[in-house]
Amino acid sequence: MSGHQCTENPPHLDPNSGSGHVEKLGNLDTYVSGSTHSKLAVLLVSHVFGYETPNLRKLADKVAEAGFYAVVPDFFHGDPYNPEDKDRPLLIWAKDHGQEKGFEDSKPILEALKNKGIANIGAAGFCWGAKVAVELAKQKLVDATVLLHPSRVTVDDIKEVNIPIAVLGAELDQVSPPELVRQFEDILASKPEVKSFVKIFPSVKHGWTVRYNENDPSEVEAAEEAHKDMLAWLIDYVK
């Protein structure tokens, strides 16, 4: 994570948001939504503000409505980034919450899902979470992945992905700017055996899919378009 865009427009966290509930999954508190009888699951890996972000939970509910068992783990163990804590700026906070640890913590989540009878799993990662999602893709621990305004995802990461992958970037993103996202697109285009989809959304910034202003119709429209693309990808390749 780098740059102020990772921390702009912080959400008002709400532990009671969403139509699902919180339970332990793989030793982490996890927001879950959808039928436990589903054989398909989607792991949503949050941005630095964590799993109590209302817009993220609302998106998980959308995923659940499409037939998936949607899970949003608390990878930060009750310690999401707090922009009001001036003694702990993002780079200091991140030392306690590395994306490598998030990747390791995701493995028991996947195991717990399989123990519930889940047959196929997709991953969607947002900012911080996109690095975790791409690591899962590289190791083929999920069936498909979507990276939304990724942070710290590299060209080398993308080169190692051999499962269906979608990358949704923002025109005004300073963390993963369009130039980098186009490099991702070129790499994926050189591997026709890997199903891929890359899109750069005009006039939006890093974080737009989960940190949008609900009272701004243009922001809502851009976020919902990204949600639609994400869901379409997961429906096509997690089955």
- Residue 109: which of 136, 131, 86, 80 has the closest Cα? 136
Model confidence pLDDT, tens digit, residues 170-229: 999 999 999 999 999 999 999 999 999 999 999 999 999 999 999 999 999 999 999 999
Q: Looking at the DSSP assignment, which residues form a beta bridge with residue 142?
A: none
Q: pLDDT > 70: what percent of the chain? A: 99
* Residue 95 near residue 28 (C-beta atoms within 8 A): no
Model confidence pLDDT, tens digit, residues 43-64: 999 999 999 999 999 999 999 9
| pLDDT confidence bin for 3, thresholds 50/70/90 | low
Q: How far apart are CA 166 and CA 149, in angstroms?
A: 11
Model confidence pLDDT, tens digit, residues 174-190: 999 999 999 999 999 99
Model confidence pLDDT, tens digit, residues 80-113: 999 999 999 999 999 999 999 999 999 999 999 9
Q: How far is CA 15 from CA 51, 109, 211, in A?
A: 8, 20, 16
Q: pTM of the prediction?
A: 0.96
- The more confidently predicted of residues 213 and 143 is 143
- Residue 162: which of 186, 191, 184 has the closest Cα? 191
* Residue 44 near residue 70 (C-beta atoms within 8 A): yes
Mean pLDDT to the nearest integer, 130-146: 98
Instruction: Specify the pLDDT at position 238.
Output: 98
Model confidence pLDDT, tens digit, residues 6-22: 888 899 999 999 999 99
Q: What DSSP string describes 140-176?
A: T-SSEEEEES-SS--HHHHHT--S-EEEEEETT-SSS
Tokens of 30: 């996890």
Residue with tokens 């994926």: 188
Helical residues (DSSP H) of 54-154, grouped into ranges: 54-65, 90-96, 99-115, 128-138
Positive or negative, the Cα torsion across 230, 212, 153, 78? negative
Instruction: Specify the pLDDT at position 9.
Output: 81
Q: Looking at the DSSP assignment, which residues form a beta bridge with residue 200?
A: 169
Mean pLDDT to the nearest integer, 162-171: 98
Phi, psi of 42 (to 5 degrees): -130, 125
Mean pLDDT to the nearest integer, 20-41: 97
Instruction: Specify the pLDDT at position 191.
Output: 97
Residue with tokens 């693309």: 229
Mean pLDDT to the nearest integer, 150-177: 97
Category of 26 on φ-ψ map: left (φ > 0), alpha (ψ -120 to 50) or beta: left
